[in-house]
Amino acid sequence: MEKPVQTPQPAPRRISQERQRITGLPLYFQGYLSVRHVKSQEFRAYWTELRGTVLFFYDDKKAPTYSQKLDISALTSATNIYPNENDSSQFILTLSNEELEVKADNCEYGKEWKGFILTVAKLSVPPDELLLPEQLTRMHEVLEKEKKRRITLDDHSNASLNKESLHESLPSKDNSSTATAMPACFYAVSRKEAIEMLEKNPSCGNLILRPGSDSKNYAITVRHGPNVPCIKHYRVMSKETSYIIELERKVSLASLQDVINYFVTQTQGNLKPFVMGACHNALRTAHSSESKTQ
């Protein structure tokens, strides 16, 4: 008996390559989501991809081109619609000029989507989400990829500016990979959020680098002390070729990583960079070892 003739379908790899070519952005997470604008009546299901800080919506899982997209780089919040119900899988993405209601198939899937969206939009893994260790590990991997992508974009932007002003050739603080790499303990969080992260995850470290009160500078938040932990904050000013720590006697260093190393060295290792990904990896390894011995 002859087999029925089937319409050839493009290979998943070819579809992914075509989407990569069209969007020009790395793929971080994907799956089905139902979405609607807040004022609309009905949800519509899309195959959805999170690439960089953009959500791409496809009418079909195998469609090479997207039907619409949403840039979430300026995301204000991702709020559960039914925050008091454990089985909630709906949340609203709020941006400066629009709101989008998102619905996932189940609660766990919804939490995962929300976690990845917040990770790339806020450049920080959400500390308050009830996520599994393996999910947190994947989000931290995405976070590192997104940090590197943005650094590369900044480098390209700086290179373009330098070409336009070759007569102003000043030494750059971004000459080496160690200078350009954002420290692993950097999180795009507020002072209050940094304190909460340190208090809730003491085994992950006790030093966080975060944005300062303005868009140009940085701040260090630390939690230390043997019996009664003490919270302190330090300003780090960004200059043309250096970073200056605002101490009683100002300290000037070449990179943000040097700033972190300075705090670690001066406290003889009592201050440790806060790296949530490494913390959860260690916890998962420990659990795995315990399981093998039982």
Structural domains in the chain, CATH included, are 13-155 (2.30.29.30), 191-282 (3.30.505.10)
**Local confidence band at 155 (pLDDT 50, 70, 90 cut-offs):** low
Give how far the C-alpha of residue 265 lies from the chain's centroid of Cα atoms, to the nearest Å: 28
**Local confidence band at 179 (pLDDT 50, 70, 90 cut-offs):** very low
pLDDT digits (tens, 9 = 90+) for 67-121: 889 999 889 888 888 654 555 578 899 988 888 999 988 888 888 999 999 999 9
Q: Which long-range contacts (CB under 8 A, 24 or more apart) does 17-23 make?
A: 18/64, 18/65, 19/49, 19/51, 19/56, 19/64, 19/65, 19/66, 22/64, 22/65, 22/66, 23/49, 23/51, 23/52, 23/54, 23/56, 23/66
